[in-house]
Amino acid sequence: MPELPEVETTLRGVAPHLVGRTITDVDVRERRLRWPVPRAVDGLAGSMIRSARRRGKYLLFDVSSGTLILHLGMSGGLRVLDPDVAWKKHDHLALRLDSGKELRYHDPRRFGCVLFCEGDPEQHPLIRSLGPEPLGEKFTGDYLAGAAKGRKLAIKQLIMDSHVVVGVGNIYACEALFLAGIHPARAAGKISRHRLVNLVAAIKQVLAAAIESGGTTLRDFLNEEGQPGYFKQSLNVYGREGEPCRTCGGLVKRVVQGQRSTFYCGSCQR
Ligand SMILES: [Zn+2]
């Protein structure tokens, strides 16, 4: 599943090809995504893309009449291509541009979406209840302490709740909790403010590192193979069940929380 760093890297990869360009044609070949692609998307020919930005894992492309909202779902990806490149299976939609290129949306499992919002996209039902951006200045230790106060919920599940903070996926939650030395199952409301400050810093660190490593794959968006995968960064615990902890040498454990695998070190994380 594309996580926030992959979505941010996708944005950085496609934005220079989109902003300031006029859409000359819209080619929708499969409307049945998570929600049907609305007819308003077809009507975007002639519109100039004013800006391209990200909110959580949603990509927002602003035109004068509104905002195109894209989500990559479980398996989606965007590529900038010459229009004569053959459509692959699961290529569902393309925006042709006055540059002669096109932006093509690919999604084998069709859990993603391509929607159009005429008003303020921050008020769109999919976006308005989202918590702050993890790398933004609103996401602080004080903010997380407020969100955790009185909560019996496991800290890992709290930081993966998009109403609390967006874009902290499973890998990044596991790695941030390891860096902060916090046991993933600890009740959120029982963790000191000082430790939550460290956790916020760790979340920002792992996401920023992932985005930075993604920068090296930007050129992939220009060719046919440009599917962002999980970024290869040195993982301390994720996917390392039974292997030695890099800090203490104890064995990394795996438990299931909220139907997701959690990896942690029982010695380093309390
Ligand atoms: Zn350890």
Q: In what order do the strands lie in the sheet with 23-28?
A: 23-28, 91-97, 102-106, 77-81
- Distance (angstroms) between ligand 1 centre and the Cα of 14 equals 40
120-133 confidence digits (pLDDT tens): 999 999 999 999 99
62-112 confidence digits (pLDDT tens): 999 999 999 999 889 999 999 999 999 999 999 999 999 999 999 999 999
- Distance (angstroms) between ligand 1 centre and the Cα of 240 equals 12
Task: Write the DSSP symbol of residue 15.
Answer: H
**pTM value?**
0.90
Active site residues: 2-3, 57, 260
pLDDT given for residue 215 in this prediction: 53
CA gap 263, 241 in Å, rounded = 7
154-197 confidence digits (pLDDT tens): 999 999 999 999 999 999 999 999 999 999 999 999 999 999 99
Q: What region, left, alpha or beta, does residue 117 occupy, with left being phi > 0 and alpha being psi -120 to 50 degrees?
A: beta
- Distance (angstroms) between ligand 1 centre and the Cα of 258 equals 23
- Distance (angstroms) between ligand 1 centre and the Cα of 265 equals 5
- Distance (angstroms) between ligand 1 centre and the Cα of 155 equals 19
CA gap 38, 35 in Å, rounded = 8
